Amino acid sequence: MDYAKMLEDYPQIPTVEQVDAEVARIKSVAARNQTSEVYKMCYSTIDLTTLSCNDSERSVSDFVRRAVEFGAHYPDIPNVASICVYPSFVETVGVGLGSSNIAITSVAGGFPASQTFLEVKMLEVAMAAENGADEIDIVINVGEMLERDYDRMANTIEVLRDELGEDVVLKVIIESGALKTPELIYKASMLAMFAGADFVKTSTGKIDVAATPEAAVVMCTAIRDYYAKTGKKVGFKAAGGVRTAEEAAYYYTIVEEILGAEWLTPELFRIGASSLANNLIGAIEGKTVKYF
């Protein structure tokens, strides 16, 4: 598919000045969402994540058990949307979740750098899904994006989308901190959506610059523009460095202001996080909490 040609239908890429102005505008109103109700909603959007070199079957099982038991300790807070792990732990998560309605997310496809053979990426996403993953998070090839090899980058997403089928949610990480400019962040988001992404996601959390309000504004603008032309709603996921309740409310406000209240559901808005979970619980309860 000629993905580079498709970008010509979306010429209104926000400038740095426009992005900065929008970030400042939204920041000025974000305090209105620093409430228990918004924090509860943000908690329900979390992809509760453990992606450590120290992960083991025991540590992941304990992690899942805490998530499953969460409702017994905090019955007034809706539980997280999913648990996100490496592919080798998908089955472990599935066993621990039992009949829970928490989804299983797996990073796959050469995460976190996407620098491996396409056949390896295909096998990894297929195995993760076969083992029970409901959602797969893949990373674009940032080098191809920086070289503006748009067709190759997007065609890989298309191949992995086809490998998974339509029943598995596909989140595409554009690694916005590496792309840096509004132009590349916008184009990468568009290309991911053209190729079949159900969500576009800011970052892996594995490089120095992760989620930023500036990247979120550009990505949500791309989602809005794509929806205006196609009628297809694509979700937004902020990941990497979102730690405080106030930061979560800020990203909530960005989505609210640019995409509207209809995007403020776990089906269209996610936050990839670990430490954020405790901080949101603490903000809701009004005290320091170390549940996870």
Residue 229 annotated in active site? no
Structural tokens at position 275: 């430490």
Find, among 13, 14, 15, 33, the residue nearest to 256 by Cα. Answer: 33
Which residue in 137, 171, 187, 225 is the catalytic one? 137
Instruction: Assign residue 196 a region (left: φ > 0; alpha: ψ between -120 and 50; beta: otherwise).
Output: left
Q: Dihedrals φ, ψ of 35, to 5°?
A: -130, 160
Which residue in 121, 171, 187, 201 is the catalytic one? 201
Structural tokens at position 126: 């297929």
Residue 162 annotated in active site? no
Question: What ranges in the chain are assigned the alpha helix state H?
Answer: 3-6, 16-29, 36-44, 57-68, 70-73, 90-97, 118-130, 142-146, 150-164, 176-179, 182-194, 213-230, 245-258, 275-285
Structural tokens at position 179: 């792309």
Q: Could you tell me the CA-to-CA distances from 55 to 25, 63, 241 in Å, in that order?
A: 41, 10, 20
Which residue in 121, 171, 187, 237 is the catalytic one? 237
Residue 137 annotated in active site? yes
Q: Which residues are catalytic?
A: 137, 201, 237
